Structure 1
Amino acid sequence: MSLNTNQLDPRQHPLQAVATAIGAGIQGEHRSPRVSHMQSANEGPADIIAKVSGCAPGGKREDDAPYFTNNEGHPFPDPKLPLISGGPVFVRFSTVTFGREFPDEGRNPRGFAIKFYTMEGNYDIVGLNFPVFFCRDPIQGPDVIRSQSRNPKNFLLDFDALFDLLANTPEANHAGLMFFSDHGTPQGWRNNHGYGCHTFKWVNKEGRFVYIKYHFIAKDGQKQFTDEEAVRMCGEDPDYSKRDLWDAVERGDPIEWTAFVQVMQPEDADPDKLGFDPFDVTKVWPRGQFPMHEFGRLVLNKNPENFTRDVEQAAFSPGSMVPGIEDSPDPLLQFRMFFYRDAQYHRIGVNLHQVPVNCPFMAKSYASLNFDGPMRTDANHAGNKQYAPNSFSHKFRPDAAETPYVVHDSVVSRKSHFWHEGQKNDYDQAAQLWARVMTPQQRENT
């Protein structure tokens, strides 16, 4: 390794690379420039991130570390690309609009966010326990959250606001039906399915791609409270979901999801043929038409060591992607890719990557263009050029170049995004959810 590089030896085994990258196997002052650039002038952060990620000194992953693994059964992305190769993860569960002191069994959507620590950097999937969202127009996103928040006049919960929004937003009724069904009161975090919601692209090494949707299916199936059970649990144990997950991990219970994708070929992404916009986040893809393909397992078996450090300061963004995975023309996804990270710069600070849980410690090359700013304690760019592209640290990588969209003209023109307006098909999938998917008991409970 040269004295002025941030590259690891490509011959190094990935698990050995972890130890070098985070400094877990380095003692005293014997620190490489790579480690200094990634962490700081002291051993603290390296030791901490080793515990958070489950990486032990020497670079070996302990059996009690959360991880994602794969079955190498799908040609997209290329098996050598980050997500498919598996590795350590951090998963955050949350309610969407309630404060952290509110009983976590209250009726609310549940956040399901996964941070994959890959050799190409961190990759985030920021989803829900619903496969759909309440709006497709990004300008309505804040209104959806406000409609489920407390009334600003008296600070009381106000479900009239959500009903009013649903009455005036036809496309919201699909997610709205799930909200007021037992899906809105899941029995803890670990008995939830998780969904990426948006459409993404998986790209292979030849530059060919497919559109995909993520599904993480709980190994033991979904378990849900009825409204009466959820209300009772809010009083008996306001921390039921957190306590249930924590205790299950401490007992060593298996907590696992099977990862699936639905796959759509670019030439099939035609709203006129499908009868719906495949990039509309208020719609699902029919599984009979786009079957589920298993591609891995998500396993949780290690609790965080400190809530503020490891959970409260975790920063997820749909814009955190790695080579082989790209965005789609979904306008709400495009909006979230910007404002999540922007909000985190205000909430945590511009140097949020120095928080251990956000550190891309697995990356074989880390040369962020961020430098300076408050509380900067690492090597602060380590002398790398502060612009891109350049001939040194930020060379052009053809394998990481964005693949052009291949979509129907109605998507490019946004016509497909608006031909739903005022049409009955905004109610079609909600009607199918009620009539074909929900059981008689679930309909009775809604």
Structure 2
Amino acid sequence: MDSPLIKYISLLIQYRLELELKGNAVVFPELDIKVLNHSPLSLFIKENELAEQEIAILLLAILPHILPSFINSIIQKYLPGGGDFPDFGGVKGKNHRGILPTGETVLYILGGKDIAKRVEIAKLFGESHLFAQKNVLYIENVNSGEPKMSGRLIMDEEYVELFVSGNVSKPKLSSSFPAQLITTQLEWDDLVLHQKTLSEIKEIETWLKFNFKLLNDWGMSGRIKPGYRVLFHGPAGTGKTMTASLLGKYTGRDVFRIDLSLVVSKYIGETEKNLSKLFDKADHKDWILFFDEADSIFGKRTDVRDAHDKYANQEVSYLLQRIENFGGLVILASNMKSNIDLAFIRRFNSMIEFENPKTEERLQLWQNYLPKSASLESKICLKDVARNYDLTGANIVNVIQYVSLRTLEKQSSTITYDDLIKGIQKEYKKEGKMMR
């Protein structure tokens, strides 16, 4: 944190204590933005053109993370004997031994006992303010019946990390964040799809490239819904996840696959809570959200027979609402389009079918994925293999892995026909299909 910022918040706290506790008419401190350096916190203040009251709130939220005794050391000068100081607010933490600022702390330092000022300052924690819109900080929820502003002033962990270290770590899969970052080392040339499918994927790339310009330069913000919603449908192993990963790779965006097993809960209200955490985290991040096996939650809604049916439908409606309000790309993947409720299908901007590869595509997949350092036994004709065996891209990769390991085990570099057929048989058996 810049030393001018430390000095400013120190003078601001002392100003209020001098005025309220000692009755001294001191000069209200002012912050000269020009003296700030290029620290992440200072850059955030400048880029968002924060007013001094907003800067003060930001500083109070970050102080416990970098200077735990800062507030205590100032107050002790005015109350050397200790004792309660309810006007100032603040609470003690379980591990933190200093004062953790609350909403009441903010109101006292910035508004004193001026009711009108305190009301105006409280509005800075409203949903329309930058702090809420960008999920920077908030007032922690309190027990029923207690004043809202008695809750702790909480800064989002990502902003704490950004302002303290200058970096933000990617969120990890957990119960509080039910999504996992997915990446790929493959290229577009490795993705073998029908031309119609590829052209529809190109439309998504176009949206990712020009959406900002469409909304802002062309003035379409407010006229069209934010974000872009796509359904990928088709059999397993046809490239849906790989396509999502490649879209992220080539547009510089993180792709997070949602683990629906961590989202959906049998307890009423828990699913909405889990989804809220996810979307709150994703807002303003320019992420791509990938809901795999989406029919588990977006399947056809049931008739309401009991309370659980009612709440299950409410969960789906809540998710649909959050998806429609999300400003980024949301991809839902399903093995069967018919499993998805028609009411949801109407909300998609695009529906892209991933079909099983035909003979030509299967041949290209075999050629693309076979290791270059291995050779094929003379009796293997890849054209015949591609024509005779109906396999998906994922099946073919599994077969190639199997035969490659078998070949290495034999200390050979030649893939045999027998091993290839055994590998294909294994994939057919998994799919419940019979070899001809």
Structures share fold, TM-score greater than 0.5:
no
- Higher strand fraction: Structure 1 or Structure 2? 1
Q: Which structure would you say has the larger RCO, counting Cα contacts within 8 Å and 6 or more residues apart?
A: 1
TM-score tier, shorter chain, comes to under 0.3
Bigger radius of gyration, 1 or 2? 2
- Higher helix fraction: Structure 1 or Structure 2? 2
